[in-house]
Chains A and B, each alone.
Chain A
Amino acid sequence: NAGVMQNPRHLVRRRGQEARLRCSPMKGHSHVYWYRQLPEEGLKFMVYLQKENIIDESGMPKERFSAEFPKEGPSILRIQQVVRGDSAAYFCASSPSGSQEQFFGPGTRLTVL
């Protein structure tokens, strides 16, 4: 059973461009979480999604950031008009329905030039 997969692993964007980060949860997992990590800091919750629904987006900036988890395909975290402050590692975690256990992916490291 493959673990949580994220791609790309590294992403470089210039200010003003869009960044799309993809997360494929573990097989059978219908819940996805996105976290952001700045260097030398802990992970900060951004958004929690179930298939086709956003459950909790309290940690996600209101502007430029959006997330989706369609019925088919991976979850996408989208950052529009990126700024240097968006540079961070973005981790996705998945869990089965009704479980508090989360399994983390390897992360996408976004660098904004």
Chain B
Amino acid sequence: GESVGLHLPTLSVQEGDNSIINCAYSNSASDYFIWYKQESGKGPQFIIDIRSNMDKRQGQRVTVLLNKTVKHLSLQIAATQPGDSAVYFCAESGTSGTYKYIFGTGTRLKVLA
């Protein structure tokens, strides 16, 4: 289930189940969205991206869905594995022409064996 921890919301998922991580973005003018995975003590690792002219994009075991109407982004991970345990951040870009990223607050994914 999903719960709110001290700082980061945490999603606990049984190994082999599918995970869905949600993100609300702030700027309707953003045109590029990215999901990153961050393991403890490491930098963000690119997972998948999507442009605003699409509403769905699939990668290997991951799918990103974009709903521009409600400014919502989701990351679906199929057959979640222990190695998927990490903090996941969404980021938006495209405002002001500087390409800077605005990151969401993050969700901690815990995969239960």
**B101, A33: Cβ atoms under 8 Å?**
yes
Task: Tell me what chain B mostly uses at the interface: helix, strand, loop, or mixed.
Answer: loop
Chain A residues positioned under 8 Å from B42 (CB to CB):
106-107
Q: Which of A40, A99, A104 contacts B44 (CB 8 A)?
A: A104
Q: Is A65 part of the contact surface with B, judged by Cβ < 8 Å? A: no
Q: Are A100 and B102 in contact (CB under 8 A)?
A: no
Task: Give chain B residues whose Cβ lies under 8 Å from the Cβ of A106.
Answer: 42-43
Known: A100-B32, A105-B43. A41 touches B7 (CB 8 A): yes
- Within 8 Å by CB of A33, from B7, B100, B105, lies B100
Query: Smallest CB–CB gap between B47 and chain A, Å?
Result: 12
Task: Indicate if B6 sits at the interface (CB-CB under 8 A).
Answer: yes
In the complex, what distance in Å separates the CA atom of A59 from the CA atom of B7?
Answer: 22
Whether A48 and B43, one on each chain, are in contact in the complex, defined by CB atoms closer than 8 angstroms, is no
Residues on the B chain within 8 Å of A40, using CB: 6-8, 106
Q: Which residues of A contact B100 (CB under 8 A)?
A: 33, 45, 48, 56, 59
Q: What is the 8 Å Cβ interface bit string for chain A, positions 43-59, against chain B (1 contact, 0 not)? A: 11100100000011001
Across the two chains, which residue of chain B brings its CB closest to A46?
A: B100
Range of interface residues on B (Cβ < 8 Å): 20 to 34
| Interface residues on chain A, size class | 20 to 34
State whether B105 touches A42 (Cβ < 8 A): yes
A55 touches B98 (CB 8 A): yes
Which residue in chain B gives the minimum CB-CB distance to A102? B101
Q: Which of B83-113 contact A (CB under 8 A)?
A: 89, 91, 93-94, 96, 98-106
Contact with A along B34-78 (1 / 0, CB 8 A): 001000001111100100000000000000000000000000000
Cross-chain pairs A/B with CB under 8 angstroms, 13 sampled: A35-B101, A40-B7, A41-B106, A42-B104, A43-B91, A45-B100, A48-B99, A55-B98, A100-B32, A101-B46, A102-B101, A103-B46, A104-B44
Known: A48-B99, A59-B100. 6 other contacts (CB 8 A): A40-B106, A43-B89, A45-B101, A48-B98, A100-B32, A107-B43
Hey, which bits of chain A sit against chain B, CB under 8 A? 4, 31, 33, 35, 39-45, 48, 55-56, 59, 91, 93, 95, 99-107
